[in-house]
Structure formats: structure tokens, C-alpha cells
Chains A and B, each alone.
Chain A
Amino acid sequence: MSLEKRIRNFLKGPKKGETFELKSGLVSQYKGERKDAIQRVIQAMTVGKDVSALFPDVLKNIATYDLEQKKLVYLYLMNYAKTHPELCILAVNTFVQDTEDPNPLIRALAIRTMGCIRVSKMVDYMEIPLLRTLKDDNPYVRKTAAICVAKLFDLNPEMCVEFGFLDLLKALLKDPNPMVIANSLNALYEIKDMNKDPNLDVLPITQDLIKNLLTCLNECTEWGRISILTTLTDYHTSNVEEVNHIIERVIPQLQHVNPSVVLSSIKTIIHHLDVIPSQAQRSTILKKLSSPLVSLVSSSIPEAQYVGLKNIRIILEKYPQILSKELRVFFIRYSDPLYLKLEKLEIMIRLCNEHNSSLLLSELKEYAMEFEPALVLKSIRSIGSVGINLISCVVKSINLLGDLIDQRGGDLIINEAVIVLTNILRRYPGKNDLITLVIPIISNHIQELEKSEALSGYIWLLGEYPKYFSGLKEKLSSLLEGFLEYESSLQLNILTTIVKVNLKVPGQAYSGLLQKVLELTTKECENADVRDKAYLYWRLLSSSSDDSQQKVILSKLPPIKSTVSSFNPNVLEILIQELSTMSSVFHKPAFTFIESPKATEKKRAGSSARNIEDLKNLAKQEIINNVKNENLLDFDDDDDDNDQNGESQGGSSNLLDELNDLFNTPTVPGGQSSQGSGSSSANDILSLFNAPNPTSVNGVSQGVGSMNLNSQPKNNTNSDILDLF
């Protein structure tokens, strides 16, 4: 074999194997074989094989009257156009021809596919077919062409605007066909999101447009309705008449069978509700929202139910009364997936009131007897929340927790119950009857306490109510035995408790323990926080008067308000605006986890141009973002359920850090409060800082002030230290 022949053979490609077979099939002289080969190519593409080498051969089959084959070739083209951009031009002719086909299905198919071939050269050939199809007689073609304008904008925004496609698209908003209108609206929204030119007004929402949309709302498909409802939500007006008209037209949509139409309608109504001046009218409208909201939960798709529940939680926070009679709907079903069960519990504790509390408690007891540990824990926590929120239920819930420990037992339940019981006492401090109820329950199960949160609760109670415990001395000394093995937050707890007991119990009964703990902490403990705190106590006890000792160490804590998390008002306001979107399920404002195209653009510009002005802006943007982040939420992806806690902890430790900077002290309080005292105390801190906005120095100093007055983490450390200064 000569060299030339060999080279030729090599260029022809292999003569065996799948690719070869397909290739020969594609150029077969029989129609059937060719079609079969195309199908197999697509199959190979579907399972992820690279069949881009067959591009020229597949392309040969594009001119066909067989609609199925045409679709397959088009599909192949869309997938591999990028690998052979120069060859795509060969297909252009067929595309352009097809847009003139008598069959509207083919015209639409051609223009749809043309837009999907993301090759820049294609753009030059799109002008004429697109113009033609945008003015097609058939609405099916027009609605497809409308979307194609958005595709073109994605490829080449300048050309899209220059050739007037954008204006044509805007004109389609007045089309007689509702589906064309809906698609044009969608295309404009897509363009609006992609647009980087600040001078380009893509979608001006005018009064006329709104009027037009309202009339075709009832004639659209369900998806068109959602687009229209979105536009209605983006429309801002303070004209009461107009708002009335919008709400009137949207209310019938609440009865649509598609849950996303329902949720979008609810969003639209809530958005415009504040404009209505009459309180009575507002509450009549709100009443109409309650059964549609409930219907979100009776959907047959668990995923949709879950999104519904997440949104209900946001709406409930803004309008707590809206579902007050609907508790039963949220009862857990045995067949629900776990994530639904947990979210239902969240809603249930928020709907709890005087009328339904006993029903709720008996239901919660059932859940606490279930299998899934996560559900059991949350049920126990919820029982506590009911008691904490409603004073009339405290005794009931304490007894219920006691029953649960007795009937079912187990480390899991005992630990969680002890945490909850401690929280209840923090809500109603100093109530003799409650203390005598709670403390025996806890004392019976000290051996089983493992969770550090439960242990620290118990230790705090020892310090707070020493005279209710029998054998206090033994209990304290057994704690001291394993002292060095505990984590530092528990060490701090024990230290504080022993100091407190010493001051509370007259005489020298506990001075031995005090001596021991101070020596352990100052000499053998490695943690700097623990040491520092021990030194502080030591100095305080040895040098200052009894009076100031009492004042610092035994100052009364204000009661906690609730263990049910709530949103920061700023966040809530944003979330209400973003109902039904991704942010509504993460319970985070969109800007915190969605990258806006404009921001990325700016970053790119900043790095490439190195323009000082740009850098300045960038820096400013960064600062603003940082402030926003700090201000609103400390977003950790891992802790979605408790992101409220996350926020408050973040906020508090932030503040505390700044405090530390101000006073130049070690970081005891920060670490302490966020680790040791768990969700509830974090909430306390949140409630403290709710009013002032801790962005400015001003805010910080206010924060310091309020901390000084009523700061209250569990083991008193914050106030201790602040009082020192």
C-alpha cells in the first residue's frame, strides 16, 4: 500500500465500529435506512456519546419532507452547532425556506430552531425570516417568533435593537391572540434580565398595558396567566381605583386548578393590598386568600406542597391572622415525606392560639411518639414553644413533656425535653409552681444528659435555683470531676454556676468548690476564654464590695419572649416581594444567593480595564454588599431551617466583636453566647436589636446601651462583663 493511499484511508476515517456504521447509514440511498441512522445518532447523543464527527453527514439529511426526520436533524443541529459553526451555514438555506413553508408547524419549527443554534454567524441570516414570522398570519408561528426575539437578543443585543425587533416585540403586546401576548411578555422579561444597557427601557409597564393584560387574563393558558400576574405584581400604582380593578380581576384566578397560578395571584393581591385605604376592605380581601392558601397544602404533589408551606410561613408572618382557623389542615399525615412533616410543624406552632392549643398539644404528643428522630425532636421543641407562647398552656406542656419522658424515655427525648424545660423557665422566671414542677423532672434524669445544650441548661438551673435541688453539693462536685473533659462552653457554664451558688447560698458551704473551680480554670484549663473569665471572677470576688458582687453576678435576666423564630422586618419585606420564587423557599432575599448579570459584568470590567473609577465603584459596591450581608443575614448554606438563628447569632457576634474592639477585651461573650445558649438566647439577642439598625456606629453604641440594660444570655456572662466597665 502506497503512502498516499494510506493517508487517504486515514482521512476517510475508520471502516469499522459504530461511527462508521452510522455514517454509512446516514448516506444510504434508502430513505428508511437514513432515518433509522439518524434516530440512532440521536440515541447515542442522548446517552452522552460524542457524535459530533457525523455533523456533515447528518446535515445532508436536512432537506426532507418527513417531519419527524426534520425534527431529529434540527435537534442534532442545536446540540452540535457549536462544534461546527462554519458548517451551520449550509443549513441556513433550508431554514429560510422552511420559514416560508405553507405548513405553520414547519414555519414555527424552523424559526424556533434557528434561534436555538447559538452560532454568531447565524445571526446575520436571521433578520429576514424573523421579520417574516413575526408578522405571520398564524398565531402559532407568531408566538414562536416572539420567543425567538429573546434568543436573538441573547446572541446579539445590538443587532436586535438596531433592526427594530425589540419594538416589534413590544407591538406584539397588543396582538389579538392571548398566547402571543403572553409569550411576548415572557420574551421581554427575558430580555430585561439579559439587558446590560442602562438606557434601554425594555418593558415599560404602563397603565394601558395593564388594562390590556387584565382583559386577556381570563383567556390565557395557565402559563400565560402566570406571566401576566408577574407583570401585574411589577406594576406600581397608588391609584385606588386601579388597584381595586386589578384585585377584582385577579381574585377569580384564586380558583384556578394550577397551584402556581394561585400562588402568583396571592402574590399580586398582597402586593397591591396596601394601597387600599379602608381597613375593612383590606381584611375582606385577606379573608378571601385563606382558603386558596390552604389549597396549596392539599395539592397532590409533595414538592409543591412544600413550596406552598414555605410561602405560607412568610405570609403568616406578615398577616398572622389569615389562617387562624385552619390548624387542622396542617396536621401531619402518616404518608407525608419527612421534610413536609417538619415544615408543617413550623406552620402549626405559628397558628397556635388560646382556642386550639389543647388540640395542638394532643396532636404534638402523637408526633413525639413517632419514629423519625427529627420529627420527634421538633415535636418536643414545639410543645415547649406552645407553653412559652401561651401562659395558659405552660403547666399542660410541662406535664406533657414529663409524660413523654416517663412513657417513652430514651436519651434523645430526655435531652431535648430538658432543653425545652429550661427554656420554659427562662420565659417565666422565678415562678415557684413551675420550678417545683420542672426541677424534679430534670433531677431524675441527670445521668442521661449528653447533649451539651441540655447539660448547660441543667447547669444554669443549678446556679439559678440552687435551693430547689437536693444534694446540690454532690451534683456540683460530680460536675467538677470531669471538668477538663467538657467543652469550653460547658466549662464556662460550670464556673459561672459555682460562683453564683456561692453568692446565693449564705455561709461558706460551697467555698471549697469555688476554690477548686477557680484553681482548675486558671491553672489547668487551656482555653483562654475560660481562664480570663475565671480571673475576672476571682478579682471581682476578692477586691470589690459584696454589694457590687451581687449586682454583677446575680443580676436578674429579663425573660425570653419566644422560641419561635421570626424574620427580621427588612428581610420579611423583601421576602413578601419575592413570594413564590427561589428566595421564598430558602427564606433569603434573592441578592444574597443569586448572582445578578450586572454585578458579574462589573467585576469583569473592573479586572480588565483597571480603570480607577471602576475600581472605586467596585469597592463601593463591595462595601454596600458587605453591609447588606451583615445587616440582613449571615448566610450559611448548611443551616437553612435555623437561618433566623443564624442571622441573629451572626448579628450578635458581630456586634459583640465590635464591642470587644471598643473595650479591648477578650472575646468571651461572643463565643459564649453563640455556642452555649443555643437558639433561644440567640433569639433574645435578636429581639433586643430588632429596633435599631446595627449598620452604623450609632447603631452599635445603641446596641451596647441596650445590652448594658438588659442583655441576657443564659449564663449571665455578658452582663457581668459589661457591668465591669
Chain B
Amino acid sequence: MASQIHFLDIKGKPLLSRDYKGDIPSNTIDKFPLLLLELENSHEDGDYKPFINSQGINYIYINHNNLYLCALSRKNENIMAIIIFLSKLIEVLTQYFKSLEEESIRDNFVVIYELLDEMMDFGVPQTTDTKILKEYITQDYYKLVKKSADHLVQPPQAVTNAVSWRKDGIHYKKNEAFLDVVESINMLINASGQVLNSEILGEVKVKSHLSGMPDLRLGLNDKGIFTSPNADEEAGSSSAGQTNNKGIEMEDIKFHQCVRLSKFENERIITFIPPDGEFTVMSYRLSAAQFLMKPLILVQCKTKVHKHSRIEILCSVKAQIKKKSTANNVEVIIPIPEDADTPKFTPEYGTVKWIPEKSHIVWKLKTFPGGKQFHMRAELGLPAVTDPEEILSSNKKPIKVNFSIPYFTTSGIQVRYLRINEPKLQYQSYPWVRYITQSGDDYTVRTK
């Protein structure tokens, strides 16, 4: 797939390279910085793309923490697979070194070479599962003593097994499984509080502390999500129009590779043998129009520009959730003009901080009971007011909101059961379930 893989710094200088095929001269990558520069300096901005074709060679790269990971190829390769492989590479290395940056590459080149060898051979991706790689690519080595079998580092069975994500012989004294249902809300709200676009990105995370090779079966409530033949009336009626569509309202459900996809496709049952430890068993997306007509956290903000080089921001926040629920760690991040100074804040509740390097102010509210509304007034000085209109229009950045609401899912998804069955060991096990709704990366309120 890829002929060479390179790690480069932000200027395109190579840090570490691995040539898999030898069909491209090894100095080809030296052209990369130039090509990158050309792309960035081209007269049309927005010409930057994560791939370049130059003199018959394709450069495919992704950017991470001031690093470029670049794959080179001559052929018309599957670019999506290459990009995903590179991102997996980042993922694996990050899990090995906590964070992947220039320094960690320099410090760990031996392990990186080893991993590169194990993850790809002759340009063909092999194993990209960190948990399994960690089984036999370890940072501290066992000394190999010949002919004493128990000291040997062996390739784990799992590498080539059909169950390539779990090794045999795991044992726990207390067998437990923790389920977290996390829904992240992305919402785009206009200045008057109308929802323009909203989606729920849901994830069911599992932390499994289970012995042996357990077979798990996850049951979710049907309402609005799966319509099995015995679904309750409500779900039946809402999907009546699309019965041949098998009634999924949850869009693009994605499963961890351990889930038996064909079983789900045919019988709508989620069964799997879990990897050990933490993983995300499924994720789903809901375009939330049917759930979220109004914002969970409503922010209204007005900016007034006064004559004496001063602006005033009036902001109000309302938690439009059930009275019983509470939103935690609410943060309202309000952008302000870059040259603003001498802030004065009068919040009704919570604390406000000015972060000049990012030119915004953050209003923090630790706990926020449902149904309540709070106000905040901020005054900032400006060096010189030229045109009030200009200040308002140049300040186009949206307000961002962070929050989390425990014990609550917006979509109403619920775990009905998690059956754990280990055919050999037959132990008792305890599933735990938590629900949480939180803000996604993109819960924003437009200012104008």
C-alpha cells in the first residue's frame, strides 16, 4: 500500500523513516518541505490538501501535534486506507508514549522501528491493535535464554486468530463490567436561540474486567432506536413509514471490530467477545431534530460598545433540562476583541476568568440545577474605539459551551441488560451502567 513512511517535523524535515518497498529513491522525501511550502504559499488559500502528486509520486500525509506523518506511493492506492493507517499509527504510538511529538520520536526510535515493522510489511498493514502489540512489543525486554520455553517472547496467538483482540488466560478475582453510555451533543444555535443544527454522537464504552473468553450480549431499549417485532407502540408508529428499512432511527451505528456484524444485521442482536480493559463497543449518531427542539443550555449574549473605549457584554445562561437533573462544570466561553483589557466581571453566580492569549473570557458554573437562569455582566476596556460596527462584525467567533449532565441521555437510549456468559468458567459477574450527556466539540452559539 505505502512504499515508505516518514515522520517529519512541522517544516517537513524527516525525523524517522522506514522504507518498505524500495521502489522509490530514499531521497525523495527531501522534496516534501518544498512541496509543502509551495502548497502553503500558493495564491489561493485553501489549496492545502492532505495529499500531493509530484513527478509520479504520491505524498499522503496527516498532521498531528506539529508533526507530519507522510506515506509515499507510486501506485493508485487506496488513499482512505492509508490515511486511516497513519492515524492508527498515531493512536498506537500515543498509547505507547503518552503523547506523540518530536521528542518522543527521538527518544523512542527503537520501539518505533519495531512497531513500524510489526504494523506494516512490504507496505501491507498487519496489526494495528495496541493491546495486542503491547503483548509482544514491549519497552523492557525479556532476555532470551535459549531453550527455556517460558521465557520466550512469543507472538500472541491473538495476532492471527479470528479473535485478534483478546488473549487467552485472563483472570480476575472479581468479574465486573462497567458500561458508560456517553452522548455528546453538537449544536449550532443562532443568536436568537434557535437551533440550526444539532446532532447526538453517542458512545457505549465498556471497561471489562472479566476472566476467560466471555461472550457478551448487550440489550438496549427499543424506543426510537431498534424496532424489533415486539417493540412498543410508540416506536412502531414512529417508524411505520419505513418498515422495510428495519426501523433504525439511530443513524450510522458503528461497532468495535469485536461485534459480530452479520449477527447484528440479521437478528439485531449485539454480541461480542470483549477486549480486556477499556474500549468503545459501539457508537452512533442521531441527527437530533426529533429530540432537541431547544438548546439544553441556552446562552444569550449581547455586546454593547460604549463611547469611552469600553465594551459591555451581557450574558444569560439557562439550563433547559428537567428540574431534577443538574448540569455540571458548565463553561461558557465568550470571545472578546483581541486588544481588550482591564476586565470587570459581575457574575450572578460562578466565576469569570479572562484568558488574554486566546482572547476570550470563560464563565464557569460548577453546578447548574435544571430550569435555573443566571446572568453575568462583563466590562472591558478597549485602546481606541474607531467604529462600533466594526468591532461587532470583526468579532465573528461563536460562543462555545461545555457542560456535562450525569444520569441522563438525550436520546433516551437505555441499557436493558448485559448478559455475560463464559462457557468454561461460568462465573457470576456484575455489570454496572452509567449515563452521561455532555457537550461535544462543537456546541456553539453564534453571536450575530
| A interface residue numbers (CB < 8 A to B) | 39, 42-43, 46, 48, 65-68, 71-72, 75, 79, 102-105, 108, 112, 115-116, 118, 138-140, 143-144, 147, 150-151, 154, 177-180, 183, 186-187, 190, 193, 218-219, 221-223, 226-227, 230, 249, 251-253, 255-260, 263-264, 284, 287, 291-292, 294-295, 298, 301-304, 306-308, 311, 326, 328-329, 331, 333-335, 337-339, 341-342, 363, 366, 369-375, 408, 578, 580-586, 590, 593-595, 637-638, 640
Contacts and interface: CB of A to CB of B under 8 A. Distances in A.
A230 B244 CA distance: 29
B146 A65 contact: yes
Interface in B232-270: 244-245, 251-257, 260-262, 264-265
Given A339-B46, A580-B78, A46 B153 contact: no
Q: Which of B19, B79, B197 has the most chain A CB atoms inside 10 A of its CB?
A: B79
B251 A291 contact: yes
Contacts of A307: 50, 79-80, 83
Given A105-B154, A139-B160, A369-B393, 9 more contacts: A66-B143, A68-B110, A71-B114, A103-B144, A223-B126, A230-B78, A329-B287, A584-B79, A594-B56
Contacts of B287: 326, 328-329
30 contacts: A39-B110, A43-B109, A46-B16, A65-B145, A66-B143, A67-B141, A75-B117, A103-B153, A105-B153, A139-B160, A143-B160, A147-B124, A178-B162, A179-B164, A222-B257, A223-B124, A255-B261, A258-B257, A264-B78, A264-B80, A298-B252, A301-B83, A301-B87, A307-B83, A339-B49, A366-B446, A578-B76, A582-B51, A585-B79, A594-B56
Contact of B46 (A177, A263, A375): A375
B293 interface: no
A336 to B, nearest CB: 9
Nearest to A586: B53
Interface string B59-88: 001110000000001111111110111010
Interface residues of B, number: 98
Given A223-B125, A264-B81, A306-B50, A590 B396 contact: no
A595 B74 contact: yes
A257 B279 CA distance: 12
Contacts of A584: 79
B127 interface: yes
Contacts of B251: 291, 294-295
Interface of B is mostly: mixed
A104 B136 CA distance: 12
Contacts of A580: 78-81
Contact of B122 (A190, A264, A298, A363): A190
Given A303-B62, A307-B83, A257 B143 contact: no
Given A46-B16, A304-B87, A337-B48, A582 B79 contact: yes
Contacts of A593: 53, 56
Contact of B76 (A75, A144, A583): A583
Interface in B1-39: 14-17, 19, 21-23
A372 B14 CA distance: 31
Nearest to A230: B78
Given A147-B122, A151-B122, A294 B162 contact: no
Nearest to A79: B19
Max chain A C-beta neighbours (<10 A), residue from B16, B63, B81, B396: B81
A179 B125 CA distance: 11
Contacts of A638: 42
B433 interface: no
Interface in B80-128: 80-81, 83-85, 87, 109-110, 113-114, 117, 121-128
B160 A331 contact: no
B44 interface: yes
B425 interface: no
B152 interface: yes
Nearest to B26: A79
B407 to A, nearest CB: 26
B44 A374 contact: yes
Contacts of B197: 328, 331
B261 A252 contact: yes
A408 B389 CA distance: 10
Contact of B50 (A144, A303, A408): A303
